[in-house]
Structures are given as C-alpha cells and as structure tokens.
Chain A
Amino acid sequence: MAKPRVKLSGTDYGLLLRLEWDSPLPQLLVELEEYLQQSPKFFAGAQVLLEIGSRPVLQQDMEQLTVVLLRYGVTLQGVVPILDGLERRPPPAAHAPFTPSPPDPQTLLHLEQRTVRSGEKVAAEGHVIIVGDVNPGAEVMAGHNIFVWGALRGSAYAGVPDREEAIIAALHFAPIQLRIAGHIARPPEARATVAGTPELARIDQNAIVVEAWERGRGGFYKRG
C-alpha cells in the first residue's frame, strides 16, 4: 500500500492534520474522508490544526477541506506552517522510562536498622534495606535492590553479580561509588544533591543513571 497522504497526529497543541500537498486535492479529500470514516466517534467535536507547509494554499481548496471536516464534526482550529518541532515532545528525561520487573515474593529482604559505619559491610542475596545511614567507607551489597532510608554516603553494589534491573535508592544520595551488576559509577565531584530529595540509581542504556525521586511519580512498581 502506498504511503498515506493524510495523517492526523497528536501534538502538545492538539490534533495536527498533515496532507501530502503534492498530490491532487480531490485525491486528498477522498483519503481524508476515508480516514475520518474509520473512527467518526473519535473525530466528532474534535478541533484540528492544519499543516500547510511553505506553499500558498488556495482559498477554494481550504473551503473544500473545511466542508469535509465539518461533515464529520471537526472544526479547523488554525493553520500552521511545518510543525515538526511541535510534535508531542519526548518525556523530559532523556532516559527510557523506568519499568522495573514486578517484585518477586520469593526474594528475601535483609533489614538493618542502624548506622552502617566505615569499614563495615552489609551483604545479602536478596534486597537490602538500611534504616539509618551508610557512612563513608561502609559498603552495602545486594543480589537485588538496595534501599537506604537515610543517607547513602558509602559504597553501594546492587544486582550482584549481573542483575541489570537492580536499583539503588536513598533519601539522601551522596555515595562514594555505585555499582549495579557490571557497571561502576562515581558521582561527579560537584554533583548537585538537593538535600531532602530522595534519589534512585538504575541502569539505562548501559550506564548508571541517577535521578530524583519525584513526588507524584507514585509507587514505581505500579509503572511498567
């Protein structure tokens, strides 16, 4: 089948109607009608922006277009030149959205309620949860995830030895070194840690990324 000459896509500004203006108008109108017929309920009452590109459009062509649109209850909201940059923007984070694997009830939890101090090591096969601080010089290792309900100032190694989906989360995130599966990260010297902002480290595109844990993001296990 030939490339569609009529296309409607969602943008931040609403629905955008794109036509291959190089084709003769009658043909475009037929295709537009076919397109709208596919889901008349969706288009009834909708408003669209028409992308006309950089060419002059005859008023009679515009009128014909409007007639077709109105037949399906669609109003022409406006006319714009090329809207390339205005298409629905990718999510603000350049990283793929975080979609952890669902929790496995078989995975063991290891809980420590204390300050893990320099020279001390907490290691467990399952998840490790520290209620307290992990001080510089201390080390936490987990086969799965690491959660620090306190400040993480030491080293954390999650997903030992090769669980790429493991994460490391802390209320105050200032580790000396992070490791997840086979990846190592050292936070840059002047990394801005916003006091009181919980943060989370995970692997994205073969590297460890750290991002703020924002309110409203919800229980992350509900995502994905």
Chain B
Amino acid sequence: MAGRVITVTSGKGGVGKTTFSANVSAALAALGKRAVAVDTDVGLRNLDIVMGLENRIVYDLVDVVEGRCRLQKAIIRDKRIATLHMLPAAQTRDKSAVTPDAMEKICAELRSQFDFTIVDSPAGIESGFQNAIAGADEVVIVTTPHVSAIRDADRVIGLLEAAEKQQIHLVINRLQPEMVRRGDMLDISDILDILAIELLGIIPEDECIVVSSNRGELAALHATSPAGQAYKNIARRLLGEDVPVLPVEEDRGLLKRLARLFKGQ
C-alpha cells in the first residue's frame, strides 16, 4: 500500500496549521481512511493537545529517530475513531534532534502503513520546516486573509517550488465573510491572485474551534460546526471528490435569510 504524505505548513505561526492537521486527519479517518497526524514541532508540541491525546504519549518522534523505540510503539491510536492515529513530537528537545533524512525514512515507513500521513510543521522556514517537508508528496499551505500571513505563505511556496514539490494546495483559514462583504478583509480572489496555486478549501472563522481545541475535541467530528464542515469537505476533496469550494457559511446565510423572511422583512 502506498499512501500519501501531506505536509501542512504556512511560514507564519498561529494561522491554524495544527488545527487543520488534527481536523483533516480526523475527517479522513472518519471517512474510513487510515490516517496518522505527525507533529514535527519538536520542543513546542501542540498537536497532541488539540487532538486530546496528550495523556497517552509514551514515546515520541525523537525516540524513533534516535532508535529508542520502533515507529509502531510511538504511534498513538485514537479511541474515538479506530483509523485515526498520531505520532507526537518530543517536548524536551529541539529541532536539531531530527534531520531531513530521518524524516524521509519515517515518512516512507508511514506511507506504507497509512492511507494519509498528515505532517504538521512548525512555524518558520528553518530546520524544523526543512524536516517537515523532507518526506512530503504534497503540501498544504494554510493562510489567513491577512497581508502578513499571505506574504509568508508566498515565501514558503517559493521555497517549496525550489525544493521541487509539485503538488501545493492552498487553504484559506478564518475567513470572515461578513468582513469580506464590507470590504474590510482581503477577498479570496485577491489572495489567489498573489499566491496563484490551487485552492483546496476555505474555512470560516468559527468560535467552536477555540472551544474544541482547548478541550481536545475535534470540530471535524461535530455535526454543527461550520469550520468542522469545511474540514470534512477538504478531506473529501483530498479523496478526489468534487465538492464545490464555496464559502461554507452559505447555510448560515440561508438561515439568516429565512429568519428575515419570518420576521416579515
């Protein structure tokens, strides 16, 4: 079996890489695919918290790299979805504990065992980033509709092109459609105009994410979260399904319209 290794990166921090990695892994797993989320942010690990698997870590990525345990032993299996897994980063070490070569080997092994290996990368373009993209078949760039995030995304895309990564997808996170309508936020077309790569999905701003990330619950497993729905759509697109890339809040817009209707306006 040859799965896909997809690295999630952004350049800028805080745009939602980890949330994306956790939720898309979960959404893929929920669709019956064997998925593993890998945290490469050695020294600043977060993915385990967002996925609610913090208390089950025994071995980590650095243990595997340094030969203290086999890959199988470090991988944690999720209890909610049988096909969802996670490989945590080490918290007490730094980025130099991993090398691109080691990551390539680990990714090759994961590729043979999982349908999807989602590699969450640290912010920045230094060694941690180089480790994260070393074994990637595809890359997802997460950005927010902010000029600084887009600038960093552009920088990262340039680095990926130089590293000859062919498949680069774009995800626009935390879009506030109301602000776009008012002209206070960058438009999707403005972003695509500059970054000029294929759009994989748009995730609306959603308060559920704050709550679920803090609790280690996954929005993609909630029926009602608009962002969760967007993650599910992205998972289906990764599987080759033709799901239209529309702002996901359409439904809420419809509800508002209905509400107005009932108010007789």
Contact = CB atoms under 8 A, between A and B. Distances in A.
Q: Do the two chains belong together in a single complex? A: yes
Contact of B158 (A120, A151, A153): A120
B158 A118 contact: yes
A136 B151 contact: yes
Classify chain A: how many residues form its interface, as a range: 10 to 19
A117 B194 CA distance: 9
Interface in B180-237: 193-194, 196
A137 B155 contact: yes
Given A118-B158, A119-B158, A133 B196 contact: yes
Interface in B143-165: 147, 151-152, 154-155, 157-159, 161
Nearest to A154: B154
A175 to B, nearest CB: 14
A115 B196 contact: yes
Contacts of B158: 116-120, 138
B154 A118 contact: yes
Contacts of B159: 119
A116 B195 CA distance: 10
Contacts of B194: 133, 135-136, 153
Contact of B155 (A115, A119, A151): A119
Interface residues of B, number: 12
Contacts, number: 32
A13 to B, nearest CB: 48
Nearest to B157: A117
A137 B154 contact: yes
A118 B151 CA distance: 6
Interface in A107-146: 114-120, 133, 135-138
B243 to A, nearest CB: 27
B195 to A, nearest CB: 8
A211 B124 CA distance: 39
A46 B147 CA distance: 64
Contacts of A135: 154, 194
Interface of A: 114-120, 133, 135-138, 151, 153
Given A116-B158, A118-B152, A136-B151, 15 more contacts: A114-B161, A115-B196, A117-B154, A117-B157, A117-B161, A118-B151, A118-B155, A119-B154, A119-B158, A120-B158, A133-B196, A137-B154, A137-B155, A138-B158, A151-B193
Interface of B: 147, 151-152, 154-155, 157-159, 161, 193-194, 196
**Ordered nearest first, which 7 A-B pairs have the shortest CB separation?**
A117-B158, A118-B154, A118-B155, A119-B155, A117-B154, A120-B158, A135-B154
